[in-house]
């Protein structure tokens, strides 16, 4: 276990160049993300295509019980984020969980986690591009999906190259649109339930939650099988950890962003789905159709479905935008550790990892090819792979947190200013839950492809690690953590 350096007065020594600009070890980044942007990135990260599009397929599988699945998974996500929050305030770095894996589990785990998180966002970017192309087909069915996906890929790529401030501003407004739409859907839905107006007024009722074959219409087993899709919907909540190295005031903005997670999940997921399933019977939802679009169409509000379609389009583009941001930063972290080509370590004149972003975007372009070759299966393929990579990332956060707490209890490391409630108990509960979801993925013959892909990915990374050890043995050595003075 790596120990913090302590000076003769018993104070934590500050390592690295913290005098200039207050930089983290990843020196050179611009701290251009303000409090409002970090808050909205955190909010927007919890609202993505998994809710807006994939929820339709999960409703068809689980009926109203999907609400309970989102609530249970939401509690686990809160445990994960509080574990990450404690680590972030112990040592706020842009490499985030890859750095913590490296420190607490060893260099190989940092290497594996960094590259796997890169894979997660590359394939998530593919999923979001696919979803965006589906939404464009709502208005322009004659446009091939691959064309729409390519256009969006290029536009977001250019925006990410300009500056982190522009990324933050784009995410702020994307998130604002998503939040406004969901709140509007909830308010309108409550109006339909209370006053009975609109075309759905005659059939809208709270009893829709149990009147059609019960709350678990297809059995508890079928409901549990939706957990893998539900967990995909929560991917990106950990993105706030990647922003740590570019946040203006991480010791204040990060705890606030994480502590608001419970009400975000309660409102945007549990609340929105509850209202929608009260207004529209669960039997009327189908895979491939956004439940929000279907609900507005049922209510009969003029242009309502088109408005919601625009909103879910921005949700997909928002997530893809975040993917470009995070993949570029993670590749630079890997290059800084000698675990990726040094070229990824370069920053552009605007202090963005332009080359790393460019390479990541080229890989996201595979999603364009998938939309050309197998448009009907593209979304399913990339969702399953992203979920597998996401589960690994979350497991590494949790295990790192457990190891960190042991070090703190033993007096080897300084305590964080943002401790997780209950210590490591929540992390252990979340670890067991994620292993259970992995078993569900293995049981599902369609989702099982993600485990095959992850096995192949692990083999490829294992070969890469062996090559690294032969070329530069020092790369695989443990390094002392570098601390940044904050507060």
- In the CATH hierarchy, which fold is given to the domain comprising 35-462? Amino acid/polyamine transporter I (1.20.1740)
Buried b (16+ CB within 10 A) or exposed e, 207-241: ebbeeeeebbbbeeeebbbbbbbbbbbbbbbbbbb
Give residue 397's pLDDT band: very low, low, confident or very high (50, 70, 90): very high
For the ranges 251-260, 294-303, 398-407, the maximum mean pLDDT occurs at 398-407
Report field, pTM of the whole predicted structure over 0.95:
no
Q: In the Cβ-directed half-sphere of 52, how many Cα atoms lie within 13 Å?
A: 31
For residues 122 and 118, give the distance between their C-alpha atoms in angstroms, rounded to a whole number.
Answer: 6
Residue 420's pLDDT band (cuts 50, 70, 90)? very high
Return d(Cα 111, Cα 106) in angstroms, integer: 9
| Residue predicted with more confidence, 183 or 305 | 183
Which residue shows structure tokens 């294992």? Answer: 462
Q: How high is the pLDDT of residue 32?
A: 53
Mean pLDDT of 252-259: 78
Residue 25 has pLDDT above 70, yes or no: no
The mean per-residue pLDDT over the stretch 391-418 comes to: 93
| Tokens standing for residue 119 | 């894979």
Whether the Cβ atoms of residue 89 and residue 417 lie closer than 8 Å to each other: yes
487: confidence class by pLDDT, cuts 50, 70, 90: very low
Q: What proportions of the chain, in percent to the nearest 5, are helix, strand and coil? A: 70, 0, 30
Q: What residue spans define the domains of the chain?
A: 35-462
Contact 236, 127 (CB under 8 A): no
For residue 478, what pLDDT band results from cuts at 50, 70 and 90? low
- pLDDT of 14 above 50: no
Flag whether pLDDT at 22 surpasses 60: no
Tokens of 265: 């999940």
pLDDT at residue 461 tops 90: yes
Which range is least confidently modeled, 49-63, 119-133, 230-244?
A: 230-244
Q: How far apart are CA 272 and CA 457, in angstroms?
A: 36
Question: Has residue 435 got a pLDDT over 90?
Answer: yes
Q: Taking residues 242-266, what's their average pLDDT? A: 73
The stretch 472-481 carries a mean pLDDT of 60
- 3-state class of 247 per DSSP? strand
* Weakest mean pLDDT among 19-33, 54-68, 289-303, 328-342: 19-33
Residue keyed to tokens 């096995």: 455
User: Residue 472: beta bridge partners?
Assistant: none
Report which of residues 460 and 487 the model is more confident about: 460
Average pLDDT, the chain: 80
Share of the chain above pLDDT 70, in %: 80
Cα 163 to the center of its chain, rounded Å: 21
Lowest mean pLDDT among 110-119, 152-161, 331-340, 379-388: 379-388
Q: What is the pLDDT of residues 140-166, one digit of tens each?
A: 888 888 888 889 889 888 888 877 777
pLDDT of residue 410: 92
């Amino acid at each position: 276990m790596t120990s913090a350096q302590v000076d003769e007065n018993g104070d934590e020594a500050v390592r690295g160049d913290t005098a200039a600009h207050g930089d983290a070890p990843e020196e050179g980044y611009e701290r251009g993300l303000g409090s409002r942007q970090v808050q909205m990135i955190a909010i927007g990260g919890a609202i993505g295509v998994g809710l807006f599009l994939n929820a339709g397929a999960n409703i068809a599988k689980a009926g109203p019980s999907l609400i309970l699945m989102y609530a249970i998974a939401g509690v686990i996500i809160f445990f994960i984020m509080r574990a990450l929050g404690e680590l972030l305030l112990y040592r706020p770095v842009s490499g985030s969980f890859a750095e913590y894996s490296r420190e607490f589990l060893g260099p190989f785990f940092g290497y594996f986690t960094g590259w796997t998180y890169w894979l997660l966002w590359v394939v998530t970017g593919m999923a979001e591009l696919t979803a965006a192309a589906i939404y464009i087909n709502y208005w322009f069915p004659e446009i091939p999906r691959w064309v729409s996906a390519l256009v969006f890929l290029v536009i977001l790529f250019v925006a990410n190259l300009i500056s982190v401030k522009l990324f933050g501003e784009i995410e702020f407004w994307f998130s604002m649109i998503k939040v406004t739409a969901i709140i509007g859907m909830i308010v309108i839905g409550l109006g339909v339930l209370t006053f009975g107006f609109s075309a759905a007024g005659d059939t809208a009722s709270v009893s829709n939650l149990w009147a059609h074959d019960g709350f678990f219409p297809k059995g508890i087993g079928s409901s549990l099988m939706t957990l893998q899709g539900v967990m995909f919907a929560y991917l990106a909540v950990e993105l706030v950890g990647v922003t740590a190295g570019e946040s203006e005031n991480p010791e204040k903005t990060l705890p606030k962003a994480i502590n608001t997670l419970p009400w975000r999940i309660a409102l945007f997921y549990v609340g929105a789905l509850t209202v929608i399933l009260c207004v529209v019977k669960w039997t009327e939802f189908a895979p491939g159709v956004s439940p929000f679009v279907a609900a507005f169409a049922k209510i009969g509000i003029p242009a309502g479905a088109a408005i919601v379609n625009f909103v879910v389009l921005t949700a997909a583009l928002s997530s893809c935008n975040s993917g470009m941001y995070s993949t570029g930063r993670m590749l630079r972290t890997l290059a800084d550790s000698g675990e990726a080509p040094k070229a990824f370590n370069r920053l552009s004149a605007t202090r963005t990892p332009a080359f790393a972003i460019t390479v990541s975007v080229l890989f996201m372009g595979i999603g364009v090819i998938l939309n050309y070759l197998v448009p009907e299966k593209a979304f399913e393929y990339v969702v399953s792979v992203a979920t597998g990579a996401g589960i690994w990332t979350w497991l590494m956060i949790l295990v790192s947190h457990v190891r960190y707490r042991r070090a703190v209890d033993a007096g080897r490391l300084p305590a964080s200013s943002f401790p997780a409630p209950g210590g490591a108990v929540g992390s252990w509960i979340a670890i067991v839950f994620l292993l259970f979801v992995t078993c569900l993925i293995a049981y599902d013959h369609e989702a099982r492809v993600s485990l095959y892909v992850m096995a192949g990915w692990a083999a490829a990374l294992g070969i890469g690690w062996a090559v690294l050890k032969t070329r530069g043995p020092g790369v695989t050595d443990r390094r002392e953590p570098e601390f940044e003075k904050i507060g």
